[in-house]
Amino acid sequence: MQSQSDETAAIAVESRQESNSSSPLLGCSVADLTSWVKSQGQPGYRGQQLHQWIYQKGARSLSDITVFPKQWRESVADFPICRSTIHYRSVAPDGTIKYLLRLADGQIIEAVGIPTDKRLTVCVSSQVGCPMACDFCATGKGGFTRNLARHEIVDQVLTVQEDFQRRVSHIVFMGMGEPLLNVDNVLGAIKCLNEDVGIGQRMMTLSTVGIRDRIRELAEHQLQVTLAVSLHASNQALRKQLIPSARAYDLDDLISECREYVQLTGRRVSFEYILLAGVNDCPEHADELARHLRGFQCHVNLIPYNPIQEVDYQRPTPNGIQAFVAALKNQHIAVSVRYSRGLEADAACGQLRASK
Ligand code: SAH
């Protein structure tokens, strides 16, 4: 007959073996966690406890969960929750904090926490690197490694929340990567952040450079998330010069897919337009942009260029920026300027790369 401790050891080995082939607990719903605890021979209510410890108390290992019986806790200690570790952290004078996070496979990604009095926004990455290679963006210069899993996206929000010791109120998918090239995991993360972390979908913005047919597909999910589309140019010739993927997706087609999105969802689209001095910021560009967007339920967000090492674009002067704003307003286009936070920490839009 096996002794008690032999039995425990056997269970421990079994669950460790199982853990190697299992998906992480982070990213699971309360129902998933309940089935998992039951599969481990535990009562169902421990699923709710596990959920609370993962999403509210920041448990990094099952051995941290002191409400669980010690013996069981130790036997499943190696089962992965799968949190990242902070590899590097840099605080900008405006309070924005950039994090380099190390994932389980050693890959490094960036997340940014952007605080104001009323908000704490997290800018999350959706991929390790980015394949889009937009000319003005630091992330694209480093190439693409892989998609992030759902739990790796959720982890970024929990990490910022824990580090600031404050609830995250807003999420923007504007970090490394192109979210619409990783749709399943991004949608899974949105669901988890909404239902398990408790952040309203209306507080989330997904930014995309536009991948053919994916915006329409996104509309079918009827999310409450705001869609932001990186336009950056007022005509196809200029856009394909700045954004290589635009060669395969004409500006007119992109805008008409966005119009369809508005029809299907009833939600406004926001267009991002980076301002590059002398390249896309002249009055005729504003007029051209306004012609494309006439009658469209949308908002234009101008982003003055944030400098990166590899290219020598310039940010327009404050007067130049205001002239562009005025030109759009004259044409009755809703417009605002996004002055990126965290410039000094290389944490602003377009400056993210997996290095210090
Ligand atoms: N792949 C998504 C998310 C990228 S980052 C997308 O393209 O929308 C979020 C925003 O920052 C995008 O609008 C992107 O074009 C913009 N951006 C990239 N590089 C920038 C830079 N150097 N200065 C200002 N904005 C930049």
**SS3 annotation, 14-45:** HHHHHHHHCCCCCCCCHHHHHHHHHHCCCCCH
Q: Would you say residue 230 lies in a domain?
A: yes
Ligand 1 atom closest to Cα of residue 207:
8
Nearest residue (CA) to ligand 1, atom 15: 230
User: 306 CB less than 6 Å from ligand 1?
Assistant: yes
**Quick one: pLDDT at residue 21?**
44
Nearest residue (CA) to ligand 1, atom 8: 208
**Quick one: pLDDT at residue 346?**
73
Nearest residue (CA) to ligand 1, atom 13: 230
**Quick one: pLDDT at residue 146?**
98
E strand or H helix that includes residue 127:
strand 127-129
Q: Would you say residue 25 lies in a domain?
A: no
In terms of Cα–Cα distance, which of 114, 320, 210, 353 is closest to 302? 320
CA 34 / ligand 1 centre spacing (Å): 40
**Quick one: pLDDT at residue 355?**
64
**Quick one: pLDDT at residue 20?**
38
Question: Which of 13, 43, 75 marks a domain boundary?
Answer: 75
- Dist CA 104 CA 86 (whole Å): 12
- Looking at the structure, tell me whether residues 38 and 158 fall in a common domain: no
Q: Would you say residue 4 lies in a domain?
A: no
Q: What is the CATH number of the domain that holds 284?
A: 3.20.20.70
Three-state DSSP at 308 gives coil
- Dist CA 294 CA 290 (whole Å): 6
**Quick one: pLDDT at residue 14?**
34
Active site residue 349: yes
- Looking at the structure, tell me whether residues 70 and 102 fall in a common domain: no
**Quick one: pLDDT at residue 339?**
85
- Looking at the structure, tell me whether residues 200 and 216 fall in a common domain: yes
Q: Spot the catalytic one: 110, 152, 178, 272.
A: 110
- Looking at the structure, tell me whether residues 63 and 212 fall in a common domain: no
Three-state DSSP at 297 gives coil
Q: Would you say residue 24 lies in a domain?
A: no
Q: Would you say residue 11 lies in a domain?
A: no
Cβ distance 92 to 340 under 8 Å? no
- Looking at the structure, tell me whether residues 284 and 218 fall in a common domain: yes
- Its domain, for residue 44, covers 30-75
Q: What is the rounded radius of gyration, in angstroms, for the C-alpha atoms of the chain? A: 23
Question: Which of 44, 75, 106 marks a domain boundary?
Answer: 75
Q: How many domains does the chain have?
A: 2
- Looking at the structure, tell me whether residues 49 and 147 fall in a common domain: no
* Residue of 114, 132, 137, 173 to mutate, ligand 1, most atoms within 8 A of C-beta: 137
The model carries a pTM of: 0.92
In terms of Cα–Cα distance, which of 179, 84, 82, 87 is closest to 125? 179
- Looking at the structure, tell me whether residues 69 and 92 fall in a common domain: no
**Quick one: pLDDT at residue 166?**
97
- Looking at the structure, tell me whether residues 144 and 266 fall in a common domain: yes
Q: Spot the catalytic one: 82, 123, 134, 349.
A: 349
Q: Would you say residue 216 lies in a domain?
A: yes
- Looking at the structure, tell me whether residues 205 and 247 fall in a common domain: yes
User: 208 CB less than 6 Å from ligand 1?
Assistant: yes
pLDDT 10s per residue in the chain (356 long)?
Answer: 333 333 333 333 333 333 334 689 999 999 999 999 999 999 999 999 999 999 999 999 999 999 999 999 999 999 999 999 999 999 999 999 999 999 999 999 999 999 999 999 999 999 999 999 999 999 999 899 999 999 999 999 999 999 999 999 999 999 999 999 999 999 999 999 999 999 999 999 999 999 999 999 999 999 999 999 999 999 999 999 999 999 999 999 999 999 999 999 999 999 999 999 999 999 999 999 999 999 888 999 999 999 998 899 999 999 999 999 999 999 999 999 998 777 777 767 667 666 65
Q: Would you say residue 353 lies in a domain?
A: no
- Looking at the structure, tell me whether residues 140 and 283 fall in a common domain: yes
Cα torsion angle, 278, 177, 53, 193, sign: positive
User: 308 CB less than 6 Å from ligand 1?
Assistant: yes
Nearest residue (CA) to ligand 1, atom 9: 174
CA 86 / ligand 1 centre spacing (Å): 24
Three-state DSSP at 236 gives helix
**Quick one: pLDDT at residue 57?**
96
Q: Would you say residue 184 lies in a domain?
A: yes
Nearest residue (CA) to ligand 1, atom 14: 350
**Quick one: pLDDT at residue 9?**
35
- Dist CA 236 CA 250 (whole Å): 6
- Looking at the structure, tell me whether residues 152 and 290 fall in a common domain: yes
- Looking at the structure, tell me whether residues 185 and 214 fall in a common domain: yes
Cβ distance 60 to 81 under 8 Å? yes
User: 124 CB less than 6 Å from ligand 1?
Assistant: no
